[in-house]
Amino acid sequence: MSATATQQYREFDRDSVQVFAAPFVGGTARSAEEIGDGNLNRVFRVWGDGLSVVVKQAVPYLKIVGSSWPLTRHRARIESDACVEHRKLVPGFVPDVLHFDEDLSAIVFEDLRGYSTWRDLLVARTATPGVAERAAAYSAGVLLGTSHLTLDSRARKEMRQRFAYSELCLVTEDLVFTAPYTDSPSNRFDEEIADVARALRCDRSLRTAAAELRFAFKTRDEALVHGDLHTGSVLVGPHDAKVIDLEFAFFGPFGFDPGLLLANLALSRIAHEASGNDRYAAVVDGCAELFWDTFADECRRRWRPTEPWYSRFLTSLLADAARFAGLEMIRRIVGLAHVADIDGLPLPTRTAAQRNALAGGRALVTGPPCANFEELWLRATQEETFV
């Protein structure tokens, strides 16, 4: 049992988090700062003499909303366990878990000091060589590695029980698949696009497709997916990139993670195009293509030669990813949680980008199945503006 295992839960402050983390920074903690601006948890950096760690603590409510949206703290256990499972499949692609305390719902991570989120780098128009490939290798590795395609049935059954459909899956169900298509009080959008937000709620084919995809999300337990793989969940350092924030992990559809990642790249692309940053928009095009090409190559590399249906697998995964991507694009414009890529734009550029994103999202969700990556990307980023 760890030194902290019998402690009663309390939310850390800068003093108590130092006491908790002292054993991981050489015995004496010297300072702590809160560094997280996430939607769900509190995150601190704690310093000892020359050493630092990151402490992530789940709080018993949805941080972005407050105590009016209570949550259990079980997500901390899910994140810690998912990091361990995913690291086995793609060593070095997920931060090291140094310690997990169930009672305090707190994880001690290696400190990825000097890393920035991929989203922040994309917003700042920074080149990010190798990052799309890392994100793709991670995604393909964990999808194939936790599927029936490669994992022994008994081991998979045990893992499947540990990563059941969780409370955060319910949050995704609501925020991604449901709220944007209803008059939910959690929706947030600019007055300038109120007409379009209303139109989405009246679009029968869109609502039907969203409901069908929600059913797929809930029932297709194909792999232990990350569950929230957007560009803010990828940390980029000088020599590598790592995937963080695995608290949404669960057994879900193959296409969900790649769909979310491509949606967030598409939102970046749309923001840059609307701002007249054509050269950087082309850089984002390159990231998306590299992501998909590497993802496909990595799936093929991990594929068992005894299964003669790889290309059918990939075609169907891409068509699903496109639809999930469409829903993600829409919810990031009219739902609760937005993205800095678009929200940070000045008016009227922001409105133009939002309308483009909604048009792209709707086209992905309601159009015929995308047959290849080029079709997905064109539909996501070059659809006629939603007017």
Binding site for Mg ion (CB under 5 A): 228, 245
* Nearest alpha-carbon partner for 262 in 218, 229, 227: 229
Candidates 40, 53, 288, 352; binder of ligand SR1 (CB under 6 A) is 40
Determine the interface stretch with ligand SR1 among 11-19, 51-59, 168-176, 279-287 (rule: CB under 6 A).
168-176
Nearest distance, CB of residue 202 and ligand SR1, angstroms: 24
CB 353 within 8 A of CB 342: yes
Dig out the tokens for 320 from the structure: 């699903």
For ligand SR1, the closer CB: 196 or 229: 229
- Residue 31 tokens read as 């300072």
Q: What is the dihedral of CA 287, 293, 297, 302, to 10 degrees?
A: 60
Nearer to Mg ion, 228 or 257 (CB): 228
* Least separation in angstroms between CB 242 and ligand SR1: 16
Q: How far is the CB of 245 from Mg ion (least distance, A)?
A: 4
Q: In the complex, what is the shortest distance from the CB of residue 317 to ligand SR1, in angstroms, rounded to a whole number?
A: 21
Q: Which of 253, 277, 267 is nearest to 326 (CA)?
A: 267
Q: Which two tokens stand for residue 189?
A: 């959008």
Pairing relation of β-strands 250-252 and 223-225?
antiparallel
Asked if 283 and 291 count as a contact pair (C-beta separation under 8 A), the reply is no
Choose one: 78-86, 93-101, 171-179, 291-299; the region binding ligand SR1 (CB under 6 A). Answer: 171-179
- Rg of the chain (C-alpha set): 21
What part of residues 217-236 is at the interface with ligand SR1 (CB under 6 A)?
228
Q: Find the binder of ligand SR1 among 43, 55, 171, 318 (CB under 6 A).
A: 171
Residue recorded with tokens 């082309």: 282
User: Do residues 98 and 108 lie in contact, with contact meaning Cβ atoms separated by under 8 Å?
Assistant: yes
Q: Indicate the SS3 state at residue 142.
A: helix
What are the distances in angstroms from CA 221 to CA 253, 256, 314, 365?
Answer: 6, 11, 17, 21
Cβ 216 to Mg ion, closest distance in Å? 21
186 binds ligand SR1 (CB under 6 A): no
In the complex, the smallest distance separating the C-beta of residue 228 from ligand SR1, rounded to whole angstroms, is 5
Nearest to 145 by CA among 33, 274, 303: 303
Give the count of residues interacting with ligand SR1 (CB under 6 A).
Answer: 10
Comparison of 52 and 233: residue with beta carbon closer to ligand SR1: 233
Q: Which of 84, 98, 337, 340: binder of ligand SR1 (CB under 6 A)?
A: 337
Residue 182: CB atoms within 10 Å:
14
String of contacts with ligand SR1 for each residue 44-83, x by CB under 6 A: ------------------x-x-------------------
Taking residues 118 to 157 in sequence order and writing x for each that binds ligand SR1 by CB under 6 A, - otherwise, the string is ----------------------------------------
Please count the other Cβ atoms lying within 10 Å of the Cβ belonging to residue 81: 18
Handedness of CA 179, 184, 189, 192 (dihedral sign): positive
> Which residue's Cβ has the minimum distance to Mg ion?
245
By DSSP bridging, strand 116-117 and strand 61-62 are: unpaired
Quote the tokens at residue 118.
């991929």
Shortest distance (Å) from residue 249 CB to ligand SR1: 12
For residues 32 and 46, the answer to whether their CB atoms sit within 8 Å is: yes
Residue 246 interacts with ligand SR1 (CB under 6 A): yes or no: no
Identify what 62 binds: Mg ion, ligand SR1, none; CB under 5 to 8 Å per kind. ligand SR1
Q: Among 46, 82, 142, 175, indicate the residue that binds ligand SR1 (CB under 6 A).
A: 175
Residues lying near ligand SR1 in the complex (CB under 6 A) are found at: 39-40, 62, 64, 171-172, 175, 228, 336-337
